Amino acid sequence: MSAPPAADGRAWQPPARLTAMVVPIAEASEVWMDAGAGRAARAVRDLAVAPQTVLALAVGMSDATLTTMLPGVSNARAALAQGDAMGARTAVDGLLAVLRADVDAGVVSMDLAVPVAEQLCSLRAEAIWALGAAPRGSQGTFLSRTAPAAMLGDWQYGVPASVTLAQAVLESDWGRSAPGHNLFGLKGEGPAGSSVRQVVEYRHGRRGVRRDAFRAYNSESEALKDHARILGTRARYARARAAGEDRQAFARALVGVYATDPRYAGKLDRIIGLFDLDRFDWATPRSFTVPAPVADLPQVVDLGLPWQLPAAWGVGQ
């Protein structure tokens, strides 16, 4: 689905408000499921059309993915509410796989898929906690805050969520030592500037202390996303990425590149084992079904929204 050019000839971009409407998938899916059950009158069917069209416009999903995502999220939430946490997690993994397949096929851009994946990762975290209790106290609170973004980095860049969470725990002491929300000790200038602090480093096997400037962020989530982007794209971490889903090999490849401590990988592995952090790692399911495209999706452009869409811009394009 390609966007028509704007009046001045430039490529049309979805308004920020349109993109933001991707987020409440659950609400949209509830309306969709009600309409699909045949219990709603024409007026309710019209309500179902609007969120479906908005989602298609904002994300550019294929018809097949769209008709999977809306009822799929609703089914996953229903399973979780009924106590079937494993069923909910399995459903979310399948939805993430379908969405990733569309990204890899070029059907949907990564930038517009991320808000959807972020919501799915939050739902996945809920299911995982339901399967196994979080640590008590501040440790559990910290992991509950950081697990969804760590899983998003795994889905988007292939950085194991378990390694990300263990690094955050080790580098920030469970978030207690993270000036500027910098959970990973990343140096340089961040979105919120930088802060100077004292750190321990190893040079030629000898332990030393030095002061340096470290990135500052507006939130922990922003720090987690930046960490995943850096490890998932920079050439110096190519050997770690080559480890694929082997989290231990990934951690070993960070020694001497990300961290100077020769025992760094062992420390991460111990943290992962103590708190079962590998349960947050994500891998594409061995099998998942993408249904055939639906031919009769409604072609609705006028949604009564405060901004105008380009003429003839609809789901089927």
Residue 124 · residue 96 · CB < 8 Å: yes
Check residue 187 and give its pLDDT: 78
- Given a cut of 50, is residue 219 above it in pLDDT? yes
Joined together, the tokens standing for residue 307 give 């901004």
Check residue 28 and give its pLDDT: 45
Joined together, the tokens standing for residue 224 give 């987690």
Per residue in 161-186, pLDDT (tens digit) is 999 999 999 989 999 888 888 888 88
Q: Predicted confidence band at 46 (pLDDT cuts at 50, 70, 90)?
A: very low
Check residue 33 and give its pLDDT: 47
Check residue 149 and give its pLDDT: 96
Return mean pLDDT, the chain: 73
**Among 93, 30, 94, 24, which Cα is nearest to 54's?**
24
Q: How would you label 44-82 residue by residue, b for 16+ Cβ within 10 Å and e otherwise? A: ebeebbbbbbbbbbbbbbbbbbbbbbbebbbbbbebbee
Check residue 38 and give its pLDDT: 36
Cα distance between residue 86 and residue 80, in whole Å:
8
Per residue in 65-93, pLDDT (tens digit) is 666 676 777 788 888 888 999 988 988 99
- Residue with the bigger pLDDT between 59 and 41: it is 59
Check residue 3 and give its pLDDT: 47
- Residue with the bigger pLDDT between 113 and 225: it is 225
Which burial class, exposed, middle or buried, applies to 22 when counting CB atoms under 10 A from its CB (0-12, 13-18, 19+)? Answer: buried
Mean pLDDT value of segment 225-242: 94
Interior CA angle at 208 toward 201 and 272, to 5°?
Answer: 35
Per residue in 276-295, pLDDT (tens digit) is 999 999 987 776 554 443 33
Lowest mean pLDDT among 9-23, 100-114, 143-157, 207-221: 9-23
**Among 15, 228, 218, which Cα is nearest to 114's?**
228
Check residue 200 and give its pLDDT: 60
Cα distance between residue 77 and residue 131, in whole Å:
14
